[in-house]
Amino acid sequence: MIPWLIAFASIAADVPPPSAGGPAVVVTQADESAFPEIRVYYEMRRPDGTFVRDARREDFRVTEDGRDRPIVGFEAPITVQARATTVVLVVDRSGSMRQGGKMDGMKRAVGTFLDGLPGGSRVALIAFGSGVDLACPFTTDMARVRDAVSAIEPEGATRYYDAVAAAIGLLEGETGRRAILALTDGQDTASRLPIEAPIAEARRRSVPVHTLGLGEPGEIDDEALDRIATETRGRSYRARDAEGLKAIYQELAERIGSSYSLSYQTDRKIPDGTFRPIRVYYAFAEGEEAGEAGVFIRGMVVPAPGWPGLFLVLVAGLTTLAVLPGMLAARGRAVPAPPGRDASI
């Protein structure tokens, strides 16, 4: 039997060039956990890169697999309210963070990020050096997160991949807009997991990982950070100093606070395990430009027309093979002992 498929959402690894004639749609996530209702998260970027926050519901249309679907829910940053987001902050506390004021700069930059988050957002903090520790569990109390950040002291090696994997695990069961912001000032030196492990898990759980490198060129493993961000549909950032890092965190908070969402009813009647391409169109964009994403509908693949009989025979046969050992065991236990013998073992 075909196993359950996990939802997949496409997160923009880089903002595509906006239309010269108007804002561009950047789809950041698709969520099918409320099937048959699908929710799509996206941003609106002007040609100069700034965000549009006041577009209206009637300005958009959405298609699934090339067919228009009615919009049943809509939220915009200003016309309704900023979208609360679930974020895991991953910060480097390795020994090299003592150098050049990196630790103090990181703490100030994270504080700026927390100031800019939409109200109601939930944040958790993971700090890593030679170990990987949950410094603060999910909370809406930003003062608690600040205290946890302030308490971090530099020590040890760098387990970046392990820390990213731990952050992804924290998001198990979380729905809605989610993101991981993973900062390091160097190269992974001590992880037990290879780089492929957190990438695969992030893709499986539809979680974008935004990677942040702090330091001079050559100090950071640019290839690794770019790979993690690109393959999980996140973005990769670089900062040489504390001021540059602060600007990055400000931009990330602004992006999160500029999120739209719309929901629509899929035309699929049952969860069928299929991949569904999604496109969001903006009325004032030129031509047929649209933001794109994809979503897997959880479920088993439905047989194509023309072979339902064979499909049912295969399912029946596989089901029989699965339950036969248990039936035989139960039958053996039910056989009475011969007369005159004790049935107990």
Tokens of 340: 């005159």
Angle among Cα 108, 111, 115 to the nearest 5 degrees reads 140
CA–CA gap between residue 217 and residue 117 (Å, rounded):
30
pLDDT of residue 26: 83
pLDDT, average across residues 306-330: 49
Q: What is the Cβ-side half-sphere exposure of residue 220, based on CA atoms within 13 angstroms?
A: 23
pLDDT, average across residues 203-232: 92
Under the banding of pLDDT at 50, 70 and 90, the label for residue 291 is low
DSSP string, 23-80: -EEEEEEEEEEETTEEEEEEEEE-TTSPBP----GGGEEEEETTEEE-EEEEE-TTTT
pLDDT, average across residues 328-342: 43
pLDDT of residue 276: 77
Task: Enumerate the domain spans of the chain.
Answer: 24-77+259-296, 86-256, 309-333
DSSP string, 254-296: HHHTT-EEEEEE-S-SS----EEEEEEEETTSSTT-EEEEEEE
pLDDT of residue 177: 81
Nearest to 89 by CA among 1, 172, 212: 212
| DSSP H helices in the chain | 102-116, 142-150, 160-170, 196-204, 222-231, 242-256, 308-334
Is the pLDDT at 35 greater than 90, yes or no? no
CATH code: domain 24-77+259-296 is: 2.60.40
- At position 178, the amino acid (one-letter code) is R
Under the banding of pLDDT at 50, 70 and 90, the label for residue 123 is very high
Q: What is the Cβ-side half-sphere exposure of residue 330, based on CA atoms within 13 angstroms?
A: 5
Nearest to 60 by CA among 11, 89, 22, 94: 22
pLDDT tens digits, one per residue of 232-264? 878 899 999 999 999 999 999 988 878 788 989
CA–CA gap between residue 307 and residue 132 (Å, rounded):
52
pTM assigned to the model: 0.68
pLDDT of residue 306: 43
Is the pLDDT at 206 greater than 80, yes or no? no
277 versus 32: the higher-pLDDT residue is: 277
pLDDT, average across residues 107-116: 96
pLDDT of residue 137: 97
11-15, 64-68, 133-137, 313-317: segment of lowest average pLDDT: 11-15
287 versus 2: the higher-pLDDT residue is: 287
pLDDT tens digits, one per residue of 75-101? 887 655 556 789 999 999 999 999 999
pLDDT of residue 175: 79
pLDDT, average across residues 176-187: 92
pLDDT of residue 297: 53
Sign of the dihedral defined by the CA atoms of residues 56, 57, 58, 60, in that order: positive
Count the neighbouring beta carbons within 10 Å of the beta carbon of residue 32. Answer: 23
pLDDT of residue 76: 82
Count the neighbouring beta carbons within 10 Å of the beta carbon of residue 37. Answer: 14
321 versus 243: the higher-pLDDT residue is: 243
Helix, strand or coil for residue 91? strand
Percent of the chain, pLDDT > 90? Answer: 44
CA–CA gap between residue 209 and residue 10 (Å, rounded):
12
pLDDT tens digits, one per residue of 140-174? 999 999 999 999 999 999 999 999 999 999 998 88
CA–CA gap between residue 329 and residue 345 (Å, rounded):
16
Looking at the DSSP assignment, which residues form a beta bridge with residue 86?
Answer: 122, 178
CATH homologous superfamily, domain 86-256 = von Willebrand factor, type A domain (3.40.50.410)
Q: Residues 176, 86: contact at Cβ < 8 Å?
A: yes
Is the pLDDT at 300 greater than 70, yes or no? no
